[in-house]
Amino acid sequence: MVDALREAHRVLLPGGAVVDVRPLTARIVVELVTPERAYWAAEGDAYGAAEDDASADAAAGHALSSGWFVSARNDRFDFEVYCDTAADLKTYAEMGRRMRDSKIPYDDLEKRRCELSASTGHAARLRCHRPKMLSVYRKPGP
């Protein structure tokens, strides 16, 4: 990533920005949601590549300490993914290793989703909160 940041610094005009959005190695939260309310349903491990996070943090730190960029923003946020069924959530989780070994109880979630839908009269959905980091680095002006 250091090479990519060096190249970004080379091609950016002064004041230009580099935006870094990446998943965090943190717990994900799954909720059952109806139009009226959200209910906690499960937690699991998100993308588990602490070494990737450490490498990206080190590269950004190198770029900042070298004066290539100044930090303009650094925010954590939850990216919300909605799924109609637990099978949809499982497919999403397995695609691209988004929730590696999360140990989410998909069968139990589907049963609870159907029960909630029946008891409220509204189709319950699953909402997964995926923690992400948004960082913006600006190339200093002349």
Give the span between the Cα atoms of 40 and 76, in whole angstroms. 21
Range 79-91 average pLDDT = 92
**Which residue reads 């091609």 in tokens?**
11
pLDDT band per the 50, 70, 90 thresholds, residue 112 = very high
Residue 49 pLDDT > 70: no
Give the span between the Cα atoms of 105 and 138, in whole angstroms. 43
- Lookup: tokens for 58: 């080190």
Cβ within 8 Å of residue 75, ≥6 positions away: 133, 134, 135
Highest mean pLDDT among 45-54, 55-64, 94-103, 112-121: 112-121
Residue 96 pLDDT > 80: no
Task: Please give the pLDDT value at position 117.
Answer: 95
Give the span between the Cα atoms of 70 and 114, in whole angstroms. 50
Residue 47 pLDDT > 90: no
**DSSP β-ladder status, 125-138 and 17-23:** antiparallel
Compute the CA torsion angle 49, 54, 60, 65 (nearest 10 deg): 180
Residue 107 pLDDT > 90: yes
**Distance of CA 39 to CAs 59, 78, 125, 139, Å?**
39, 17, 10, 44
Closest CA to 84 of 130, 127, 131, 30: 127
Residues in the chain, overall count: 142
Task: Please give the pLDDT value at position 102.
Answer: 63
pLDDT band per the 50, 70, 90 thresholds, residue 53 = confident
